[in-house]
Amino acid sequence: MNLTPDAVADYKNAGYYMAEGLLSSDECSQILTRGMQLIEPGSEAPNRVFMPHREDPCFMGCFKDPRIVEIAEELVGGTLLGAQTMFYIKPAGSTGHGWHQDNLYLCSKPDPCIAAWCALEEITEENGALRVFRGSHQLGLLDMVPHDDSRFGNHDQTVQPPEGCEDTLVLMRPGDVLFFDGMLIHGSYPNTTSDSKRPAYIAHYVPESSTSNDENYERSQLR
């Protein structure tokens, strides 16, 4: 067991849990170096590499990393399968990521996916830290609606965050991993720095007992 019953109860209540310093700074540097080698030169920012574990052993190691998988399994209370990985940079000046719920895409039913969002460098308000709406995972899947918020220039539609769910800024140190429920409303504002790439490694897992959208995502054994 890695987590206390209180930590699991708080996750159920809030929809997220932060594991501080789960990865070492050497591991973060290695993942960042490999991720940057996979980014296509000259492609538009923000920039995501989907499923890097399919071509890179370092990312496969992260996908199956027992430290990440075991915490995610304790939080959901059951065995998980691996669904996807992503390497995500949001370079200086990039727009944000509109409010959304990941389970809209992964379609894991009856229980949602869980995300593990790993900070590879310092994540600050200025470079566009994640923001989560505490407790919003309890509201079910909400409609995506058109918006005119220029901060989310890359995305046509967002969820309208409901009142009563605290808008929470998630500041992270390299190696911190934020686990969050696939129904949690989250996103981020632009990177207003002049020099930070705000790099992250993100993985999604689905309960073995749930069905999911396996056309676009995997259902991979993790052991």
Residues contributing to the site for ligand AKG (CB under 6 A): 88, 90, 97, 102, 130, 186-188, 200, 202
CA dist list (Å): 115 to 72, 146, 193: 8, 25, 26
Provide, rounded to whole angstroms, the least separation between the CB of residue 1 and ligand AKG: 28
Least distance to ligand AKG, CB of residue 2, Å: 24
Q: Cβ closer to ligand AKG: 3 or 151?
A: 151
11 or 88, CB closer to ligand AKG?
A: 88
Choice between 83 and 202, CB closer to ligand AKG: 202
Judged by CB, which is closer to ligand AKG: 3, or 104?
104
Task: Tell me whether residue 22 or residue 202 sits nearer to ligand AKG (CB atom).
Answer: 202
Give residues with Cβ within 8 angstroms of 200, minimum separation 6.
87, 88, 89, 117, 118, 119, 120, 123
CB of 151 to ligand AKG, least distance (A): 11
Instruction: Round to whole Å and give the CA distance between 152 and 156.
Output: 8
Q: How would you label 179-209 residue by residue, b for 16+ Cβ within 10 Å and e otherwise? A: bbbbbbbbbbbbbebeebbbbbbbbbbbbee
Cα 194 from Cα 47, distance rounded (Å): 17
- What is the smallest separation between the CB atom of 6 and ligand AKG, expressed in angstroms? 27
Give the shortest CB-159-to-ligand AKG separation in angstroms.
Answer: 11
Task: Decide whether 59 or 88 has the Cβ nearer to ligand AKG.
Answer: 88
DSSP string covering 153-220: TT-SEEE-PPTTS-EEE--B-TT-EEEEETT--EEE-----SS----EEEEEEEETTSB--TTTS--B
Question: By Cβ distance, which residue is nearest to ligand AKG?
Answer: 188
User: Considering the complex, what minimum distance in angstroms separates the CB of residue 169 from ligand AKG?
Assistant: 12
